[in-house]
Amino acid sequence: MHNTNFCGSFRSCSRFSVVLLGLAVIYQPLMANEADLPFADESSLTSAHLVEAVLARSPDIPTMEAVWMAAKARIRQAGSFDDPMLSYSIAPQSVGADGLDFGQKLSFSQRLPWPGKRGLRGDVARAESDAAFVGIGQARLKLTETAKAAYADWYFVHAAIRINGINKSLLQEFQNIAGIKYSAGRASRQDVLRAEVERVLLEHRDIVLERQRRDVLANINTLLQRLPDQSLPPPAGLPGIIPLPTIERLRALALEHHPELRALMARTQASRHRERLAERNDYPDITLNAGYNTLWNQREKRLTVGASINIPLQGKRHAAKDEARALTLHLDSRQRAKVSQLMGDLQQAVEKVRESEHVLSLYQGRLLPLAEENLEAARSDYEAGSGNFLDLISAEKNLMQTRLQREQTRADYHRHLAALEQLVGGSLGIRSGSNAS
């Protein structure tokens, strides 16, 4: 007996197979082998390698490159002549007629635009191509900023997990000390229980941090066009702090290299070329023609040459010039607004970088040594019997928070620096390497 319920029917099976094939094609990049990653065999992941991989695997870059190639191909088209026209006709009743020559007519014509029109059309297409090319750089900068920020998150979550492990070891040590003192009758059982409570809370924090690690992992894998749970090497560290150029130099870099501003400038230039082309359209185009017509009885009249022009009607051409001028004014206004916004965003980005740099220096040079010294003093006092366990736990928490805030500030510094680099249109020269723990 045949199974008529299998997939409903052969047609439904075929449709199901097509859907599966389509999904396989769509998700094929996500299911790529780990070996296709440049850091697949490395024990740790650096910020530079992550940025390189994100740029190499992003589908946005090839898409924008294709748009640019299409715009670039229009330059030659815009500056080309129109196709010449060739026509041929016959007098049907002259075919085979007695006493009549075969009647036929051949003509050739070529339209020649008024001098300067082809060049202006090419200039418009070239400026649009420049704008499309700048768009590729804008996409690369944005992806670079996003990848660097994701790497800072990857670094911080691993640092938080490491710090939490150190604190669990410290609490275990304090719990042992409290247990020894309790056995000797020099401490209360409450000290032992308090240490146990704090250790359980840190174990819960491990669970929270692991969830955060998986969230960051999924975010990075999304940038890499991979499945969200595919593994990544641990971070190698964050680059060190760099001295910033002066604000005047940063403003000059932003005005010169910021891709969105450069794209607006290119489109404004294209609009100005359109204005000049609209003015040049007031002049007629010339069409040269040549023909041979056997319908004329006299042979001297059969070969003809001539020229024709179009008569430009001013109504629509005035409207075209008004449209081109309005578009140029619009783009000029957008360009000025973008410069103003860029200068404001740049100032804010610089202030955030400088603030993070100052706070990081404060944690590294003063707060962290003080927190470590405070913990050592609290432990010595407790072991000597002159301090209480609550002060020891408080000092331990303070040290943990100081370490976490230092690493958070370090990650924030690199996020802010990546945003600043995106505004100035490129790297500010971060040296490779990692900070000491």
- Segments of 297-351 assigned E as strands: 303-309
- Distance between CA atoms of 132 and 128, rounded to whole angstroms? 6
Is the CB of residue 183 less than 8 Å from the CB of residue 159?
A: no
* Inside any domain, residue 435: no
> Poorest-confidence range of 1-10, 39-48, 179-188, 330-339?
1-10
* Inside any domain, residue 371: yes
Written as one string, the DSSP assignment of 145-193 is: HHHHHHHHHHHHHHHHHHHHHHHHHHHHHHHHHHHHHHHTTSS-HHHHH
Is the CB of residue 128 less than 8 Å from the CB of residue 270?
A: yes
Q: For residue 251, what are its two tokens?
A: 């403003």
Task: Fill in the amino acid letter for 11.
Answer: R
- CATH code of the domain containing 287: 1.20.1600.10
Percent of the chain past pLDDT 70, that is, above it, reads 89
Please say if the pLDDT value at position 7 is more than 70: no
- Distance between CA atoms of 372 and 362, rounded to whole angstroms? 14
User: The pTM is what?
Assistant: 0.79
- Distance between CA atoms of 86 and 12, rounded to whole angstroms? 55
* Inside any domain, residue 313: yes
* Inside any domain, residue 101: yes
Is the CB of residue 147 less than 8 Å from the CB of residue 56?
A: no
Task: Report the number of distinct structural domains present in the chain.
Answer: 1
Is the CB of residue 410 less than 8 Å from the CB of residue 360?
A: yes
Strand partners, 287: 111, 308
The pLDDT score that the predictor gives to residue 43 is 84
CB atoms within 10 A of CB 139: 18
Task: Fill in the amino acid letter for 79.
Answer: G
pLDDT digits (tens, 9 = 90+) for 327-377: 999 999 999 999 999 999 999 999 999 999 999 999 999 999 999 999 899
- Distance between CA atoms of 317 and 314, rounded to whole angstroms? 5
Classified as helix, coil or strand, 164 is: helix
pLDDT, average across residues 228-243? 90
- Please state whether 88 falls in left (phi above 0), alpha (psi between -120 and 50) or beta: beta
* Inside any domain, residue 31: no
Q: What is the largest CA-CA distance in the chain?
A: 142
* Inside any domain, residue 213: yes
pLDDT digits (tens, 9 = 90+) for 380-437: 888 887 778 888 888 889 999 999 999 999 999 999 999 999 999 888 864 333 343 3
The pLDDT score that the predictor gives to residue 37 is 59
* Inside any domain, residue 3: no
* Inside any domain, residue 29: no
Range of the domain at 114: 43-424
